[in-house]
Amino acid sequence: MPQTIGVPREIFSGEKRVATVPDVVTKLIKLGFAVAVESGAGDAANIGDDAYRAAGASIITGAASLWAAAD
């Protein structure tokens, strides 16, 4: 079972950064990790959930659910 990396939404107002981008998700998965992204994590950086999903990440709604799924 691969280790799951969790990517949360930013909680600070006006913050546009996101912890990772779809290209990096693809690389992490190739290295043997699983990646879970909180829904909307990339919205402020113009990266939608579909882009993360296409890269192989699972999309999880809510921070508590994300942390429960991550290692």
- pLDDT tens-digit map of 1-57: 899 999 999 999 988 899 999 999 999 999 999 999 999 999 999 999 999 999 999
Strand ranges across the sheet with 34-38: 4-7, 34-38, 58-60
DSSP symbol at 19: S
Q: Kindly report the pTM of this predicted structure.
A: 0.94
Q: What b/e sequence results for 26-57 when a residue is b if at least 16 CB atoms lie within 10 Å of its CB, and e otherwise?
A: eebbeeeebbbbbbebbeeeebbbebbeebeb
Helix (H) or strand (E) holding 25: helix 22-30
> 18: burial class by Cβ within 10 Å (0-12, 13-18, 19+)?
buried
